[in-house]
Amino acid sequence: MTTETDPITDAIARLRERAERQGAAETGSGEAGPRLAVDAERQRLRQLEALLFAAAEPLDIETLQARLPAEAEIEKLLATLAEDYAERGVRLVEVGGRWRFETAPDLAALLEEVKEEPRRLSDAGLETLSIIAYHQPVTRAEIEEIRGVAVSKGTIDLLFEIGWIRLRGRRRSPGRPVTYGTTDAFLDYFGLSAIGDLPGVADLKAAGLLDSRLPPGFDVPDPGLSTPGEGDEDIDDDSDQPDFHVDFLDGEDGED
């Protein structure tokens, strides 16, 4: 014999069961109450973790309290979260009354990145480099003639240190002055396939780097034609370059 269930009776039973569960949660008695309390604390820990993780700066307790439910015990939650992260790659720490995540001290070496800050060229350095690039092979005296001022030892030394210039050869003239030219590192840094890719007069004018009304006879040399000049002697043995360079530049410095 099958007994049909009265829908009204079922509804009353479900309401009574729900009321009993809510009462247990409010009084802290029974199985449902502790489970709900644990779930609520876990959710607040997740919320606290998200706030601290996304913050651009450390957060104080007042700021955290304002974001979390009023019944949340912030200090207790912070202690629990700090304990959870104590043995992880990041940890929760207090800094001046504010809280933040930071890398575990014993793992700091993994995140170290050594960067070499490029030395900024002065106007004198840029002028000297430009003259060498466009007029190479060029001597120090020729650079000074074009610039109108003496070239200091420091300017040439810096261009050598960066690796943008090299010794090209010696002029077969009195004193056998050394000549300078640019390096492959210079081409790489400025994104040039060859020295002939340097901008010409039209390009410089278009970029606003040259006045459209240039003096008569003004010209920018074609860098693509930069080959050892007549009477120049190539320097084949690079091992002689540093000593010769130092001896050559031991004279008076200019006013760069």
Task: Give dist(CA 146, CA 221) in Å, integer.
Answer: 12
Which own/partner contact pairs does 143-151 have at CB distance under 8 Å and 24+ positions apart? 143/180, 144/254, 149/124, 149/254, 149/255, 149/256, 150/252, 150/253, 150/254, 150/255, 150/256, 151/124, 151/254, 151/256
Q: What 3-state DSSP class applies to 98? A: strand
- Do 70 and 40 contact (CB within 8 A), yes or no? no
Task: Report the alpha-carbon distance of residue 156 to residue 251 in Å, rounded.
Answer: 13
Contact criterion met (CB below 8 Å) for 119 and 162: yes
- Select the more confidently predicted residue: 2 or 129: 129
Residue 173 identity (one-letter amino acid):
S
CA–CA gap between residue 191 and residue 184 (Å, rounded): 10
Using one digit for the tens of pLDDT, what is the confidence trace for 113-131? 777 666 678 888 888 998 8
Q: Specify whether the backbone of 222 is left (phi greater than 0), alpha (psi in -120 to 50) or beta.
A: beta
Q: What is the pLDDT of residue 116?
A: 67
At residue 148, what are phi and psi to the nearest 5 degrees?
90, 0
Contacts of 190 (CB under 8 A, 6+ apart): none
d(CA 183, CA 160): 10
pLDDT at 254 over 90: no
DSSP secondary structure, 24-43, as one string: HHHHT-TTHHHHHHHHHHHH
Q: 71, 26 in Cβ contact below 8 A? A: no
* CA-based R_g, the chain, Å: 38
Q: Catalogue all structural domains in the chain, each as residue range(s) with its CATH number.
A: 16-110 (1.10.10.10), 123-248 (1.10.10.10)
pLDDT band at 67 (very low <50, low <70, confident <90, very high): very high
Which of 175, 167, 181, 180 has its CA nearest to residue 251?
175
User: At 232, is the pLDDT very low, low, confident or very high (cuts 50, 70, 90)?
Assistant: low
% the chain with pLDDT above 70: 62
Is the pLDDT at 220 greater than 60, yes or no?
Answer: no
Q: Alpha helix (H) ranges present in the chain?
A: 7-27, 32-54, 61-67, 74-84, 123-135, 140-147, 153-162, 184-189, 201-206, 241-248
User: Can you give the pLDDT at residue 171?
Assistant: 86
pTM: 0.44
pLDDT value, residue 175: 86
67: Cα within 13 Å, side-chain hemisphere: 17
Lowest mean pLDDT among 27-36, 121-130, 230-239: 230-239
